[in-house]
Amino acid sequence: MRTHTKTAPKTIGGAAGTPAVVLEGLGKSFGATEALLDVNLVIPTGSFSVLLGPSGSGKSTLLRCLAGIEKASTGSITIGGHVVAGPGVHIAPERRDLAMVFQDYALWPHMTVAQNVGFALRRRALAPPERSREVDDFLGRVGLDHLGARYPSELSGGEQQRVALARALVGRPGLLLFDEPLSNLDTDLRERLRVEIANLTRDAGVTAVYITHDQTEAFALADQVGVLSQGRLVQVGTPEEVYHRPATPFVARFTGLAGELAGTVLDAAALDTSGLSQVTVEAAGGVVIARTHETESLRRGDRARLLLRAAPLRLRDPCDDRMVLAGRILDVGFRGRGYDHVVELHGGERLVGIFDEARRDRGMAVGVRCGELGALAFPEDLALASTD
Amino acid sequence: MSASLRTELVGPAGTLAPAGPTPRLPGRTAPTGSRGRGRPRPGHREGRLGHLTAWPALWALLAIILVVPAACFLILAVSPRLFGQGPSWFTLKAFGQALTGPTLHGMLNSVLIGVAAALLATAVAAGLAWVAQRTELPGRRGITLGLWAVLLVPTYVTAVGWEQLFEKGGTFANAGLVPAFAQRAFFGPIGVALILAFKGVPFAYFALAPALAGLGRSFEEAARVHGANRIATLRTVAPILLPAIFAALTIVFAESVSDFGVASTLAVSASFPVATYTIYSAITSFPANFPVAAVVGWMLVAAVAVALVIQDRLLHKRSYAVLSGRTRPATRQRLRGWRLAASMTFVYGFFGLTLVVPAIGALVASVIEPFTSLGFSHLTFSAYSGVLHASALGPPILLSLKMATINATLTLLVGLAVARALTSPHAGITGRLIDVVLVGSVALPGLVLAAGYLFAFNLPAVFRAGIHLYGTLFLLGMAYLAGALPTNSRVMIGPLAQLQGSLMHAGRVHGANQLASFRRCVLPLLARSLLWAWLLTFAGTFTELPASELLAPTGIQTIATSILKVFNKSDLVGATALSVVEMLIVLGVIVLATLAFRLLTPAGWRRVSGELA
């Protein structure tokens, strides 16, 4: 599942119900630059989907195509069963029954908070008292019921983002789009607002598409995650699937690694319960048992690249066990519950973020054991070619 | 050159460059639809008519009003036969004529005066920018306002006002207030350069001030913590402002060499020939010598081009980017003692010399009987009553009011469309080309453009084609539009570029169609900028001289040509009184318009649009 060719659209997860959004062969180019290439995706109604990717991967373009701000060059977009973009068709943003939370909030500075939120009610022909009640209700939900008369410039960044959220929700849209809404906030506020976004969106029962470059945010929020690279959708799945069974070395790297090791396959075993093969690889002077879905490409004697997750790595005292890789502590950092260590293995490879409750001082000789699900093996040429 | 603004030449970081396609305003998407709630409707074909017609229409407009007249006039210099002006298809004879005697002398004078005015204006503007951006001088907020006032006063009005002060046998000279050496200096290159420098200060200021403000304090702090004292810090940080400094020098130089207001008043009184007046003389003499006028036009364009090339060479391949989202604003210095006194003297002295003195000079001189000394016994309003009762004066004022109102409105609409097209992310190469044409036109002296009109629309071929615009007010209106459009559209590019595209997008995705999104979400943010753009065009057109002088139909006068006519009759007092009336009308319109804006717009509009203006 390295790339998606023109096949049937992928369904995010297995949620039941009519798809809210269907993308078929979606492409977008800006002059000679192709920002999106043949994206096929189905987003079920009521799901919270996160599109994850680095800068320039095409996630913003995809979201803007969904919103109707950008016109798709090829392919089609169907929202709620209606084609909103396709050959010769482009439905204007205001007629797509959606709302959006922008990265820069996009609050109109000449309108008060209440006016900003009330703007999105124009789709619903409400009487003024009811309109006012709705605005107050949604401002209350985001904890800003006392700030309706203020102007956006009189609010903090977090408050502004809450207003943007209330504006997006108040119109009860069929689809809610989030364009990296937390990227301008500090860490503590990000965490709190992330929880609010998750709760308010799910309470409203709205289908949400959220883009981010932060895999922690993606995994925490998503029912389903789609990973984009260079304009292509390279993997779609639950957060667990994407983390434990990355389709490509790129997905594995982008979702967080402790480090990489080069090695040689000693043995290849049968499929395990998750549908992956198990391979034994000699690397860094020891032996690592890894999983792979490249069964055909990794046979005894082949060169392999091991991609190690940090969480399953454990520190041990140095020993003769070949399953324990020998190294020394290069750096250590306090993390509250314990310590994150950086270990340099004897071959010079570095592994970062290895947690242990006990502090190991710099220079200390240690062993590193890779636990179950901790290592992923790819053919070396494939792993080295996939550097984006 | 028209008395229009040149601030548009100043890029975001104070560079003299076309504005890039920075903002993310939406492209033309689907036709607007209903506001009804509900699921998206089945798709329909998007109208592409706008896409297909917008650029060609814009090109056609620019070609007719700008490119063709200017190009015809300039080509004439080397190919008179092409336009039936001589026997040769290609000749440099006109260059030979122009590069001798008084014509060459006038050109050299223009360049020297331009350099002097640029240096002086930039130095003064740097001082004002420092006071406005880096000190807590009382009244510093009024500096920008004062500079707008300086900008709005045409150079011929300033020149006439100052002439009143220095005139031999005038009221002030008779009162013994003007030393002889000052009188001699004023009626010569020094006076001409001084008035052009005064006029240039606002241009230089608008180039320097944003750069100084955007510099923040981190560069200075970095220099100080690494051991530099105040002077070493200044030496280290000042070069970062080089693009803005060069921009200021180039703008003032371009403005000065192409000025016609001082050229047709003070320079004539001082018998000091400059290039623009030699163009005027060549065209208005009998028989008219268009080829020589065209050569001088070439030389003016070349002088500006050389200045731009020098600027480009000096800054080549060096990055001066200082603005970023992380820039921390600089701290302001609280001035005390001699610093406070010196700064106040400098700022108030400047505005005294540029606004108050000529205004008082003009006012006093226009209410004192000519060739008498100061005193209540000589007080007379005869100049004003003469001006106001002259049966010939009403029509010029009304005509100028009408033309200025129409032109300001038309220019605003077209300029906004041009600016929006240029700031669109879909502008592409066509957009860049239009941008180049507009920037080039800004550097084209107004007099050369007017001469181009005079020539191009008077060609037999044009008459044979059934185009009979020569000698009509319509042609004058076209010239006004051509003169104002480059400036106006570039003035609009700034505020449009500052707008976050997401504000418009947010309107669309939350249910408003394109027009409603613009009206409700974007227009309020642009309102004050639009108002000022309108007022600037209004004031520029109302007081416009070169095109009016060359293109007004026979027997019809604008207020500016009336002033020049009175001045040419050596009636300095009458010309002064008329200038005062002219300025009062402009001031009245500005006051009325800003008052209307204050009273009629919602609080939110006034609250924010000032931030973008």
Contact A281, A308 (CB under 8 A): no
pLDDT confidence of residue B18: 31
Judged by DSSP in three states, A300 sits in coil
Q: Mind telling me how many Å the CA of A222 is from chain B's nearest CA?
A: 23
Q: Which of residues 66-105 of B touch A (CB under 8 A)?
A: none
What is the rounded CA–CA span in Å between residue B307 and residue B177?
39
Q: Mean pLDDT over all residues of chain A? A: 88
Name the token pair of B337: 């003692």
**Lowest-confidence region among A144-148, A371-375, B318-322:** B318-322
Q: Mind telling me how many Å the CA of A191 is from chain B's nearest CA?
A: 23
Contact A370, A357 (CB under 8 A): no
pLDDT confidence of residue B486: 81
Q: Which of the pair, B474 or B432, is modelled with greater confidence?
A: B474
Q: Which of the pair, A24 or B158, is modelled with greater confidence?
A: A24
pLDDT digits (tens, 9 = 90+) for B505-521: 899 888 888 888 888 88
pLDDT digits (tens, 9 = 90+) for B328-364: 556 677 777 888 888 888 999 999 888 887 777 777 7
Going from the C-alpha of B555 to that of each of B457, B461, B546, B575, B578, the distances in angstroms are: 19, 26, 16, 19, 19
Residue A217's nearest CA partner among A269, A244, A171, A255 is A255
Q: Which of the pair, B226 or A137, is modelled with greater confidence?
A: A137
pLDDT confidence of residue A17: 52
pLDDT digits (tens, 9 = 90+) for B544-559: 888 898 888 888 889 8
Quick check: A95 and B609 CB within 8 A?
Answer: no
Going from the C-alpha of A23 to that of each of A77, A85, A101, A222, B607, the distances in angstroms are: 5, 9, 21, 19, 43
pLDDT confidence of residue B365: 66
pLDDT confidence of residue A237: 94
Q: Does B510 touch chain A (CB under 8 A)?
A: yes
Minimum CA–CA partner of A92 in chain B: B30
Residues of B in contact with A28 (CB under 8 A): none
Q: Does B41 touch chain A (CB under 8 A)?
A: yes
Q: Which of the pair, B227 or A370, is modelled with greater confidence?
A: A370
pLDDT at B152 exceeding the cut of 70: yes
What is the rounded CA–CA span in Å between residue B427 and residue B23?
11
Name the token pair of A68: 């109707």
pLDDT digits (tens, 9 = 90+) for B428-463: 677 777 777 776 676 677 788 888 888 888 877 788
DSSP, residue by residue, B219-260:
HHHHHHHTT--HHHHHHHHGGGGHHHHHHHHHHHHHHHHT--
pLDDT confidence of residue B381: 64
pLDDT at A180 exceeding the cut of 60: yes
Contact B508, A69 (CB under 8 A): yes
User: Mean pLDDT throughout B304-326?
Assistant: 62
Q: Does B26 touch chain A (CB under 8 A)?
A: yes
For A21: left if phi > 0, alpha if psi spans -120 to 50, otherwise beta; the answer is beta
pLDDT digits (tens, 9 = 90+) for A22-63: 999 999 998 888 999 999 999 999 999 999 999 999 999 999
For chain B, what percent of residues have pLDDT higher than 70?
A: 79
Quick one: three-class SS letters along A208-275? EEEEECCHHHHHHHCCEEEEEECCEEEEEECHHHHHHCCCCHHHHHHCCCCEEEEEEEEEEEEECCCC
Of how many residues is chain A composed?
Answer: 388
Within its chain, how far is the Cα of B27 from the centroid? Answer: 30
Say if strands A98-101 and A175-179 run parallel, antiparallel, or are unpaired: parallel
pLDDT digits (tens, 9 = 90+) for B205-220: 887 887 777 676 667 7
pLDDT confidence of residue B328: 52
* pTM score, whole prediction: 0.70
Residue B354's nearest CA partner among B152, B588, B587 is B152
| H or E stretch covering A78 | strand A74-79
Expressed in percent and rounded to 5, the helix, strand and coil fractions of chain A are 25, 35, 40
pLDDT at B323 exceeding the cut of 50: no
Angle at B120 between CA B119 and CA B121, to 5 degrees: 95
Q: Does B426 touch chain A (CB under 8 A)?
A: no
User: Mean pLDDT throughout A229-252?
Assistant: 93
User: Mean pLDDT throughout B474-496?
Assistant: 83
pLDDT digits (tens, 9 = 90+) for A314-336: 999 998 888 899 999 999 999 99
What is the rounded CA–CA span in Å between residue B393 and residue A119?
52
Contact A106, B505 (CB under 8 A): yes
For A20: left if phi > 0, alpha if psi spans -120 to 50, otherwise beta; the answer is alpha
Of how many residues is chain B composed?
Answer: 613
Name the token pair of A94: 């205001």
User: Mean pLDDT throughout B62-70?
Assistant: 85
pLDDT confidence of residue A21: 94
pLDDT confidence of residue A359: 95
Quick check: B46 and A88 CB within 8 A?
Answer: yes
pLDDT confidence of residue B326: 42
pLDDT confidence of residue B39: 42
pLDDT confidence of residue B319: 47
Best interface-test mutation with B: which of A110, A113, A153, A184 has the largest number of B CBs within 10 A? A110
Across the strands, what pairs with A292? A277
Q: In terms of C-beta distances under 8 Å and separation of at least 24 residues, what long-range contacts does A275-282 make, across chains too?
A: A275/A245, A276/A245, A279/A304, A279/A377, A281/A306, A281/A375, A281/A377
Name the token pair of B283: 């065209």
Q: Does A314 touch chain B (CB under 8 A)?
A: no
* Sheet with A89-90, edge to edge strand ranges: A33-44, A19-30, A74-79, A82-86, A89-90
For chain A, what percent of residues have pLDDT higher than 70?
A: 93
Q: Of A81, A92, A108, which is closest to B503 when you measure between CB atoms?
A: A108
pLDDT confidence of residue A31: 82
What is the rounded CA–CA span in Å between residue A317 and residue A130?
68
Q: Say which DSSP state A95 is in.
A: G
Binned at pLDDT 50, 70 and 90, residue A356 comes out as very high
pLDDT at A172 exceeding the cut of 50: yes
Q: Which of residues 26-45 of A touch B (CB under 8 A)?
A: 31
pLDDT confidence of residue B315: 66
pLDDT confidence of residue B49: 44
Residues of A in contact with B506 (CB under 8 A): 100, 102, 106-108
For chain A, what percent of residues have pLDDT higher than 90?
A: 61
Q: Say which DSSP state B329 is in.
A: P
Binned at pLDDT 50, 70 and 90, residue B528 comes out as confident
Quick check: A91 and B43 CB within 8 A?
Answer: yes
Q: Does B507 touch chain A (CB under 8 A)?
A: yes
Going by C-beta distance under 8 Å and a sequence separation of 6 or more, which residues neighbour residue B501? B23, B24, B25, B26
Going from the C-alpha of B493 to that of each of B90, B432, B486, the distances in angstroms are: 40, 13, 11
Name the token pair of B227: 């051991």
Name the token pair of B379: 């007080």
pLDDT at B574 exceeding the cut of 80: no
Say how many CB pairs under 8 Å bridge A and B: 153
**Lowest-confidence region among A184-198, A206-220, B398-412:** A184-198
Q: Mean pLDDT over all residues of chain B? A: 76
Which of the listed ranges A105-114, A147-156, A220-229, B235-244 does the model predict with the highest average pLDDT?
A220-229
Q: Which of residues 236-255 of A touch B (CB under 8 A)?
A: none
pLDDT digits (tens, 9 = 90+) for B391-437: 567 788 899 999 999 999 999 998 888 887 777 766 667 777 777 77
What is the rounded CA–CA span in Å between residue A289 and residue A374?
9
Q: Does B604 touch chain A (CB under 8 A)?
A: yes
